[in-house]
A and B are shown apart, each in its own frame.
Chain A
Amino acid sequence: MPPRLVQLSVNGRAHHTALAPNTTLLYALRDLGYTDVKSGCEKGDCGACTVLVNNQPINSCLLLAWLAEGQEVVTVAGLGNAEHPHPLQKAFVDFGAAQCGYCIPGMIIAAKALLDEHPQPTDEQMREALSGNLCRCTGYVRIFEAIRNASADLNAQE
């Protein structure tokens, strides 16, 4: 089956690109330059590849790219940048939440989805929301601290 021209909407931008049917959203995104989306296990176990599709966190390694057409995809780069960081990004930096950094994009996306649904999450809700994002470096302590603070920060802004 030949590649098909597919329209993907990523971080508010429209992309038209030819994709083979067996291309996952993970690789489609990385090939479009969104290398902030990381490949980890490619099995849906580690969460490194997590992106938002229509505001829902999913493993981009398991979604075929053709099936993401017509939906809103958000990667961590779409939340903010160094000049204008999202409160989550700022908190992750301020609290030293990253060591090697590889799990971090997935962690921030999962945290964004959490705060969208529960602006003031309990610890249990937070742990549950991040239960699909594995980190081998940090032991999660500062990641959770960063999220708690970002949540307080976002609530203070309202």
Chain B
Amino acid sequence: MREFELLQPKSLDDALDALAVGDTAVRPLAGGTDMIVDIRARRAQPDVLVSLQNIAELRGVTRENGSLRIGAATTISDFLKNPLLLEHADIARQAAYVFANPMIRNLATIAGNIGSASPAGDMLPPLLALDAKIKLVSKKETRTLPLSDFFLGPRKTARRSDELISNLQFPISSSPCGTAFYKLGLRQADAISLISVAVWLERDGANIRDVRIALGAVAPIPLRATRAEELLRGQPFTESIVQQAAQLASEECSPINDLRATANYRRRMVAVYVCRMLEQAWKNS
């Protein structure tokens, strides 16, 4: 494997000092489940890795003022165990349950999944559906963006090389809401998504007060199906409108042919699963 320096800072300040040089060959290292694989495959060629293992400021899940705040170092396994996450982020738990495999889940972090920005990243559509915001810190400044503005292209994000992802935040809904997530893969576990669909909706009697539909693995970035959402917002929940919305969502994405599936198949599956997940989320609300 490529030779690199491995720094083990004990505080967030020390870690940010190490990154302040602003060199793209100086990379943060969290769980390593993408980074080490990428280094072996020569897709990543860092000279310095800054281990975030000892940075306490990146850990922890807290509830404050009607929002849930999730530390960057939260592992995927935490989404299956942490009481606050189980209570308020069930859609992310559903994705965590089918994320890679148990060993990977114990090492991989939520910020790592976001920072890697694979178009097929499994935690990404749920976080988009939760309308999450991402906080980035560096020696120079702290800034917060909507997660939907963070993804710029396949494996490209708005994170500058001197920045660390610090946490994610999303509002906890006070109205009845329902969520659903589905990952379509070539096997039941240990698989990369062909498509993934995350639906969040807020119910008002027989009407959809608000809805968010996020799609994964069917575009250069994970994305919200905003035209499908617009069609549904404020409308009574009927089979007909759900079918129309699912059809719109399948037109809003831009899947590709690759070794796992064809673009055509993916597009058709988006329609199928947006429909099913809307129905499931409605049932859960």
Binding site for A on B (CB under 8 A): 1-6, 8, 29, 31-33, 36-37, 39-40, 49, 51, 53, 77, 100-104, 106-107, 188-190
**A-B contacts besides A44-B33, A58-B103, 6 pairs, CB < 8 Å:** A1-B4, A21-B3, A22-B2, A22-B4, A64-B51, A131-B102
Question: Which among A42, A43, A44 has the greatest number of chain B C-beta atoms within 10 A?
Answer: A44
Hey, which chain B residues are within 8 Å of A44, CB to CB? Answer: 33, 37, 100-101, 103-104
Within 8 A of B (CB), among A57-110: 57-59, 61-64, 66-67, 110
Complex: A66 Cα to B5 Cα, angstroms: 11
CB distance from B79 to the nearest CB of A (A): 15
Nearest Cβ on chain A to B141's Cβ, whole angstroms: 29
Interface centre among A21, A50, A66, A128 (most CB of B within 10 A): A21
Residues from chain A with Cβ under 8 Å of B100 in the complex: 44, 132
Residue of A nearest to B41 (CB): A43
B91 CB, min distance to chain A CBs, angstroms: 19
Main secondary structure of the interface of A (DSSP, over half): loop
Tell me whether B102 and A20 are in contact (CB under 8 A): no
> Considering the chains assembled together, what is the distance between the CA atoms of A21 and B3 in angstroms?
8
User: Contact check: which of A113, A129, A132 meets B190 at CB < 8 Å?
Assistant: A132
CB-CB under 8 A from B5, the residues of chain A are 1, 21
A and B contact pairs by CB, cutoff 8 A, 5 listed: A42-B40, A47-B101, A58-B106, A64-B36, A134-B190
Query: Which residue from A56, A59, A131 sits with its C-beta under 8 Å from B189?
Result: A131
Q: Rank and list the top 4 A-B pairs by shortest CB-CB distance, nearest first.
A: A132-B101, A131-B189, A21-B6, A1-B5
Q: How far is the CA of A103 from the CA of B109 in the complex (A)?
A: 26
> In the complex, what residues of B have CB within 8 A of residue A131's CB?
101-102, 188-190
- How far apart are B105's CB and chain A's nearest CB, in angstroms? 9
Pair A132/B189 contact, Cβ less than 8 Å: yes
Cross-chain contact B37 with A62 (CB below 8 angstroms): yes
Residues on A with C-beta less than 8 A from B2 are 22
